[in-house]
Structure 1
């Protein structure tokens, strides 16, 4: 499984178990595509990013509408420091599936400092397709806080912590007390 790590935020690719295409006909050689995807994933896991990139390109030669291959090609490009290529690959995945949360999230993280408005829009789309995406709420909170939209930022931080209480320590200090994790039902009933 490939991951994109930025700071302390990790978005794990879970899409490999899902169908690779949406709205497109099945690839001409599904067994070959599946085998190549598994091989590329192993190459990426062992940090052979150049080899993984070549293997994902082979997948795309067989199935140009494979959103997972485009997404993973973006992850590989990012791992090699080629941010512009990563963004282009995520865009290709999103042309195939506009709701592909992993691609939306990773592209948003890459654009957060250079184009925060676009990043916020991508994060909102990721949240719309995966409402409990805690790290997407957290990242959107960071963007809103940087724009001095405190109430909206607080709401996003609260949603992030509600979905994943372990993120509480990553919430900026001015918001931390206001977005504390909810007491569990056993604690609430102990009054």
Structure 2
């Protein structure tokens, strides 16, 4: 009788431990999700040696957005990821595990930003979708290491320095991926 009771307790303990482990892995994004993991979520562009061009414009640092989200009041650790014409994209470390994408368009005299938990970069993108005069969107994004492209409307843009720019996007579908995996990102619309 004691042997049967001990086996039941051992079996119950194993089931409980397995359930707890599965729950933990799901919360960490390591299983139990319909999202495809691409890379490990690291942003190697932020590890490059700092240059003068990596500094955020003071006008961006003056926004309440910067104070609420950036890990450093002066945008320390920011890196210029891409330049396309008058558009500049920056990656900025955020508070409490956040990662931020900042876009500055000198010609349009606009700036914007989006932040999300760093773990998002394992399966998707931190992005902004800006409405253009023709009704399409310009989608800019920050992705983790391992992503090699972003695609929408049959057009593909390469990921360079952990960032991408896709112009003339119609609808709300975006795909980010690598040669071995891809993930749909709903950008609304």
Of Structure 1 and Structure 2, the greater strand share is in 2
Of Structure 1 and Structure 2, the greater helix share is in 1
TM above 0.5, yes or no, is no
Q: TM-score range by the shorter chain?
A: under 0.3
Q: Under a length normalisation based on structure 1, what TM-score does the superposition of the two structures give?
A: 0.26
